[in-house]
Structure 1
């Protein structure tokens, strides 16, 4: 160990001169003077504090400089204006928040580049993370329906993916050949019109590895520049175009997206009328035939009986609360009912009709008697001794006013009735007072899962981490790297978590629908805002000459014609629901903003059921196609 250093506290009048070296606890600090402060390394300061860059220009120039210095301000402004613009409609046609955000962001970044020479560049890690949040939230929503969708339309989803991929490749590759575009443009068109940036990497890999040798008179750098220019032009136009096309495809072919979405939800739910365990909305309180009513005891048939005795005499209307002289009497003491007590009952409205005053006494409006807190909870059956017994054989389930709202087995809703049997691993959705629900949960060997406003950060982060690692796992075949992709990996992680919860609600959650919906909407639109900032300058650099017109035409054709044809095949050949065919087509086009557009239009997330299937298939095929488009060019 080094020698101990003695620190002397300076007196109040003492000054520490600039340039003095202080040694504190073994750490050397240099107090810079004025000249030294001006030449201090800003990267060192930036490691401790975020530096605030000054705005040196006035007017609009200063405004765009501010957005360059503060990327978060750019993202928030794009989100605000884009959402506002997207909310306007003309004859029921609107851009939607995602397309609006993209349009605003691109216009801002292009204006900054063209008018003031300011090139926006926001770190891609922000956009990537926001996209992954969107994909995970979406996976949570559609997870229970995903495997049902595979069973119902897996072949159709695969065929739609093949149609979209093959038509896109043919249009972009042979379109560039027909016009006589230079090498690199075809690969850039495929990458931009498919909105898969990784295709550029595959094309560049073919160049650097020697698998493709540029012809005489053109360098590899020029081929790379051609790819980037084609990508930038086709990417922006394709992204806006596909959002509008996917949004209105059902309407174009004469379908009602909202009505078809409801039909699809019913078809993929297997006839279930309640959300599966752990799903958003599963623990929402909803009106039912069971009500609370309060009565003043005046009938001799009730006076002198204990609460437990009355429960046996009238099991259809359990007592939830007993008031005496304005105070609550604990039911755990099994008190005997006295004249003028007030009893709070819960039961089916039809069964409560008998309490019209002739059996108990007149009805009371006492607020304390009528304000019994009710809960909704899910309980996983964990006791083997009750397996095989029916609900009617378990009177304790109805004790204290607990009622069974729904019964699930292996994620599927079962018909509910007195003879419905319980098995180990089933899930019961119960309503009633919290204490009574807790008692029932203990008896059947489970734990009551109640609604909560708490977040599920632990499950979210672990599941996203697993999905991300699966997505980046790469296998190289014949020089072509193949990976599932982080987006596909994370959405499948969300699907897996929600699938497990549908079997056992103890597996994390419950997910608050407001939080899940916020992650979905904000995540995607923030991703698009960052994307627009980085793409705008590339569009400016690609402008000029007749080439841009051909790039725009071919890129738009390659982006829009394939999903249009695939949608027609889906509804006419395979007989798919229009919203399901639309979701499969946007998955085949790898368009997450397009998926959000049809979900907004249909008011449902059911379009996301086929999305991961066609998305994963075409991601792989697009990389193969991009590699060969470079070699064959």
Structure 2
């Protein structure tokens, strides 16, 4: 049907009824593509707009017409939408608390992912299957970001509690194996269930792989009346049931272990952070919060010159008499005076000094004149920077000597040697390779860095992607190297490999802040939070349908009971051993327990609960140990079945 001039009002009326606004005679839209075919809109712009709107509604219409079925089908067709929905709803649910107990965003995302996938499977026959490479990559981003934060403390943890972390790992692994294997035997469960229970309750999918390897290689031969496929199905069913329950249960347990035993997670985390930092009060170079211009006893003050002892004297003369309060700016008649010519100070000039606030309050008001709030005098950009000392002639000087050669207004906020913060005092000496954290006016800090021979590491809103990619690649390659002994594949693991890469980068950056490029703390924190939640969203969405297929009979009850016992009892015992027998801080013991359980979401849960990342310090030690032992145990459980 052609749209003539006489018919245009009817066309516009039709579009208004369809809730699409037509502006003028040459602009119109359609609700559905088939509606657009009924009318020919004149003008290229109008026809283009109509086509675009029609395509939009063509996408939306199947979903709206099919209701919930269409929604879950859309999530199947667009897995990114499913992941983002699970993260958004999971984070929202995780914020709700009951008597100070909450799921947290990670466990909340797990629950939402499971519920969505189970509804899709049970209600509409839709099975979600999101490519595992996405979840694996997001997990590695999280692991690397975490390594960047805890790197300098990692090696200190080995010296302080290496043996305790190993024992905690052995306890968790051995108890898990005993409970799962003998629990399945006592319940009379068929072959395959024990290995699946170990894999699911430990939340290590790779154990299924070694169990299947024992079947495929003939190391285990099923009894008469059972096929290899049936044993494999038993493993998968036990894995699915125990994995789902363990995933949520272990996150909550790890999160609240200190509280269960009567400890304050936040207070203990502060004690642990101080202990593992050697009593340091400043963040190590390259670490979170390192270049934040926070509280300092040195500050800018402005004074109007009225005292005769100041009037008529040059800046260089005043600097010799008052080296601890250098003049940074002179304002005269509303204009900034050029200081390069060493001008003399005149009456009613406003001078800006930077010194210890205590001295300024008690002395300089009387010595110079009344304090001024002139914004021009006080508006001096300040900077904080980490500078690596690489000029030999500066080595051996005390901080007092160094202060005499530094430009006015620059102060040393912290001194680091080999990544460790040293006490500050006038006689503290500076050695080659030390890192000085300087504060002061921009130009003065840059000039000081030039004299010390080091690169300036300044606060930045950007992060170096190249170093991140190279470090993660090296850690990943180390992790995938596999050695097979007696049919059992042994590998360090990609997660330990990548976290060690992050630890290595941050460790070396604490000694040379220019190494590895800048990493903005906001970007690092985002990678840590989003990476883990995206990982668990994919994992829970994929495993949900397996729960549906495994439901049925009395077997599911045994799988649930044994799986929960194997998942939760070993961490409780190991945590108790850590705090009672080894005297570990509750947060450090919890972090080692999370590593022994190979449970990264649980680690994030205790980090959230304690408001500190110090729990991640012992995590790689017990994680790497139990990763290897868990694979050996899974293989043995299949053979012994």
1:397 Cα deviation from its structure 2 partner: 5.0
Stretches of structure 2 lacking an aligned partner (at least 5 in a row): 1-57
**1:174 correspondence with 2:182:** yes
Query: Do the aligned residues in 2 keep the contact of 1:355 with 1:361 (CA within 8 Å)?
Result: no
**1:72 correspondence with 2:83:** no
1:211 Cα deviation from its structure 2 partner: 1.1
Inter-partner Cα distance in structure 1 for 2:309 and 2:640: 94
Secondary structure of the corresponding residue to residue 527 of structure 2: helix
Query: Do the aligned residues in 1 keep the contact of 2:384 with 2:459 (CA within 8 Å)?
Result: yes
In structure 1, the residue matched to 2:326 is 318
Q: 2:234 aligns with which of 223, 226, 239?
A: 226
In structure 2, the residue matched to 1:566 is 574
Inter-partner Cα distance in structure 2 for 1:357 and 1:204: 81
Mean Cα deviation higher: 304-313 or 389-398: 389-398
1:299 Cα deviation from its structure 2 partner: 2.5
Query: Do the aligned residues in 2 keep the contact of 1:279 with 1:510 (CA within 8 Å)?
Result: no
In structure 1, the residue matched to 2:545 is 537
**1:479 correspondence with 2:487:** yes
In structure 2, the residue matched to 1:445 is 453
Query: Do the aligned residues in 2 keep the contact of 1:294 with 1:345 (CA within 8 Å)?
Result: yes
Secondary structure of the corresponding residue to residue 343 of structure 1: strand
1:81 Cα deviation from its structure 2 partner: 0.7
1:361 Cα deviation from its structure 2 partner: 2.3
**1:284 correspondence with 2:292:** yes
Inter-partner Cα distance in structure 2 for 1:52 and 1:493: 44
1:330 Cα deviation from its structure 2 partner: 2.7
In structure 1, the residue matched to 2:420 is 412
Structure 1 residues 188-203: aligned runs within 5 Å? 188-203=196-211
**1:254 correspondence with 2:270:** no
Inter-partner Cα distance in structure 2 for 1:152 and 1:53: 59
1:384 Cα deviation from its structure 2 partner: 1.1
Query: Do the aligned residues in 2 keep the contact of 1:53 with 1:69 (CA within 8 Å)?
Result: no
In structure 2, the residue matched to 1:118 is 126
Q: 1:106 aligns with which of 100, 114, 117?
A: 114
Inter-partner Cα distance in structure 2 for 1:328 and 1:175: 82
In structure 2, the residue matched to 1:15 is none
Secondary structure of the corresponding residue to residue 156 of structure 1: helix
Structure 1 residues 291-310: aligned runs within 5 Å? 291-310=299-318
In structure 2, the residue matched to 1:556 is 564
In structure 2, the residue matched to 1:591 is 599
Inter-partner Cα distance in structure 2 for 1:330 and 1:279: 38
Query: Do the aligned residues in 2 keep the contact of 1:280 with 1:510 (CA within 8 Å)?
Result: no
Stretches of structure 1 lacking an aligned partner (at least 5 in a row): 1-50
1:494 Cα deviation from its structure 2 partner: 0.7
Query: Do the aligned residues in 2 keep the contact of 1:278 with 1:509 (CA within 8 Å)?
Result: no
In structure 1, the residue matched to 2:251 is 243
Inter-partner Cα distance in structure 1 for 2:405 and 2:445: 8
Query: Do the aligned residues in 2 keep the contact of 1:404 with 1:429 (CA within 8 Å)?
Result: yes
1:350 Cα deviation from its structure 2 partner: 2.2
Number of residues of Structure 1 aligned to a counterpart in Structure 2: 583
Secondary structure of the corresponding residue to residue 318 of structure 2: helix
Offset from partner CA, 1:437-469 (integer Å, 9 cap, x none): 111111111122110001221121111111111
Inter-partner Cα distance in structure 2 for 1:182 and 1:407: 64
Offset from partner CA, 1:99-140 (integer Å, 9 cap, x none): 000001100000000010000011111101110111011111
Secondary structure of the corresponding residue to residue 331 of structure 1: coil
Offset from partner CA, 1:131-185 (integer Å, 9 cap, x none): 0111011111111111111110000000000000000001111111111111111
Structure 1 residues 359-398: aligned runs within 5 Å? 359-396=367-404, 398=406
What is the alpha-carbon root mean square deviation over aligned residues?
A: 1.5
Inter-partner Cα distance in structure 2 for 1:432 and 1:554: 62
Structure 1 residues 605-624: aligned runs within 5 Å? 605-624=613-632
In structure 1, the residue matched to 2:216 is 208
In structure 1, the residue matched to 2:348 is 340
> Runs of 4+ in structure 1 displaced over 6 angstroms?
51-54
Q: 1:428 aligns with which of 423, 427, 436?
A: 436
**1:274 correspondence with 2:244:** no
Mean Cα deviation higher: 346-355 or 160-169: 346-355
